[in-house]
Amino acid sequence: MQPRNRTYRKICQYCGKEFLACQARTAYCSERCAKLAVKLKYKNERLKRESAEVREFERLALLDKNYLTLSDAAKLMQISRNTLYKIIQLYSIQLQRFTDRTVRIARADLEKAGLSNFNYIKSTVQDKDDVLTNRMTREQVMEKYGVTHSWFYSTIKKHNLSVIHLGSKAFYDKEEMERLFKDQNYSNVDEWYTFDQLRQETGMRTESICDFCKTYKIPRTRKNGIVYVSRKHWDESRGANIDPKIYMTVKEITETYKLSRNHLFIILRDNGVERIKRGIFVYFKREEIAKVLKYREEKLKQL
């Protein structure tokens, strides 16, 4: 007769339910409770490490070190690593490399960088009101000018605008916001293209259309979330409004006079023939081309 396996009545240390265990040291009723207990343990340890008192104690302990790791330097200055990298680049702070993978930064260099551009900011309510009289928050700019979140930040980054931080809020200059986001006066523009129309007609992507408008300074406006492009300026930049009876393209000239592009441009350069450019296209007057290439036309007739 085989001996009966012994069981133990236990209380799960995570969920508190009663269960039968095969071993006396079993603490959890299931594998799920065991994993959740480990996860909770790590979470509590992390919260303990990140408590304000512990962080401040560790930061003060760093004051006794002459050379710091980048993580310790960011912790000492109470900034993020990304901000620390910007400070290193801005003040050209030299890093000390001891081995291939060991890099340290001198605490004295950080102190010099901090003192070189140290500004005292008054924090009274009246002073804040005076500073913010000509300032706007991001939410105010987006609501007033109808711009999107991505459009706002891409414009701010492109023009490298100044910003004032008070608490968790960022404030921007009202005049600069008006100059960048206020709708321009396009009273002389009567007709507009939408991006959908341009994509269908040209096969271009939205990014390519935007780049083309920026390159050739084509007026754009936004109404009710839809971007419009000036039809007149777009057609002019693409050469759509060029009179074919007066002007010829390079392709037409080479096909008519049986010339290569290189040969044609050498002839035009030597004779000083003027050209006009519309966007990516180049045009020449038919009358001038006929004069310059008259010899070529007579030669073709003899063939």
- The domain spanning residue 66 has which CATH number? 1.10.10
| Domain ranges, residue 94 | 52-116
Residue 2 lies in a domain: no
Residue 190 has pLDDT above 80, yes or no: no
Query: In this predicted structure, what is the pLDDT of residue 124?
Result: 46
Residue 18 lies in a domain: yes
Residue 134 lies in a domain: yes
Compute CA distances 241 → 3, 15, 244, 248, whole Å.
101, 78, 9, 13
Mean pLDDT of 13-20: 89
State which of 99, 116, 133 marks the end of a domain: 116
Instruction: Say yes or no: 176 and 132 in one domain.
Output: yes
What CA–CA distance (Å, rounded) separates 287 from 112? 71
Range name among 70-79, 114-123, 288-297 with the lowest pLDDT average: 114-123
Helix axes 174-181, 149-159, angle to 10 degrees: 110
Between 33 and 119, where is the model more confident? 33
Q: pLDDT category, 39, cuts 50, 70, 90? A: very high
What CA–CA distance (Å, rounded) separates 176 from 159? 10
Instruction: Say yes or no: 58 and 43 in one domain.
Output: no
Query: In this predicted structure, what is the pLDDT of residue 37?
Result: 92
Domain count, the chain: 5
Residue 187 lies in a domain: no
Query: In this predicted structure, what is the pLDDT of residue 194?
Result: 87
Helices (H), the chain: 31-49, 52-61, 70-77, 81-90, 107-116, 125-131, 138-145, 149-159, 174-181, 195-202, 206-215, 231-238, 250-257, 261-270, 286-292, 294-302
Instruction: Say yes or no: 157 and 131 in one domain.
Output: yes
Mean pLDDT of 75-90: 84
Query: Parallel, antiparallel, or unpaired: how do β-strands 103-106 and 192-194 relate?
Result: unpaired
Compute CA distances 7 → 10, 19, 26, 34, 43, whole Å.
9, 10, 11, 19, 32
What CA–CA distance (Å, rounded) separates 22 from 146? 67
Question: What 3-state DSSP class applies to 297?
Answer: helix
Residue 1 lies in a domain: no
Residue 71 has pLDDT above 80, yes or no: yes
Residue 186 lies in a domain: no
State which of 16, 33, 48 marks the end of a domain: 48
Residue 129 CB: number of other CB atoms within 10 A?
9
Query: Parallel, antiparallel, or unpaired: how do β-strands 135-137 and 164-166 relate?
Result: unpaired
Residue 82 lies in a domain: yes
State which of 72, 98, 116 marks the end of a domain: 116
Range name among 196-200, 226-230, 236-240, 272-276 with the lowest pLDDT average: 236-240
Question: What 3-state DSSP class applies to 196?
Answer: helix
Mean pLDDT of 220-237: 79
Residue 279 lies in a domain: yes
Mean pLDDT of 125-146: 69
Long-range contacts: 30-38, Cβ < 8 Å, 24+? 37/13
Instruction: Say yes or no: 40 and 89 in one domain.
Output: no
